[in-house]
Structure 1
């Protein structure tokens, strides 16, 4: 696999998890979808934290610290949304 294609692996993993979450949401299971979307953000944060700068590709938006904190906060927000009690 070329270096160019390897740089696309992290973002592809995150996008696939997001797509699964959106399919789940389309079926009407929004709490499960929120959990999957939170997991996607968490996976993105972990990938951004662990994968070297030269191999992260389009998952790099700002600095590593900002990206990890933002994606981690987003993951936490989605996961907190799953604790909502439905009537």
Structure 2
């Protein structure tokens, strides 16, 4: 005898909504870490961390299904992936190529 359970978004909509935003939360924590590094005069390392977090956001957008990606899905999947990856790469490469004073 099997008992059918209703989906999580019906039983606990707030919890389901929070779980859906975990990819965005992970990216925001990384960006916050990068900004914290910039604040403490490690600007190059901080900008590289922010760039890598954008690249990871692009990878998450590429790999996760739409129902799991949350607010990382803004536009179409190809557009989101390309914009996030290019922005992250440009930021990281630019930070690494600026000569140290």
TM-score range, shorter chain: over 0.9
CA RMSD of aligned residues (A): 1.3
Q: More relative contact order in 1 or in 2 (CA 8 Å, sep 6+)?
A: 1
Runs of 4+ off more than 4 Å:
none
Aligned to 1:85: 99
Rg larger in structure = 2
Distance 1:59 1:46 in 2: 11
Shift of 1:3: 2.8
TM-score (norm 2): 0.80
The one of 40, 46, 67 equivalent to 1:33 is 46
Distance 2:19 2:76 in 1: 20
Q: Deviations over 1:36-57 (max 9, x none)?
A: 0011101100100000011111
Q: Matched residue of 2:97: which SS?
A: coil
TM-score (norm 1): 0.92
Give structure 1 stretches of 5+ with no counterpart: none
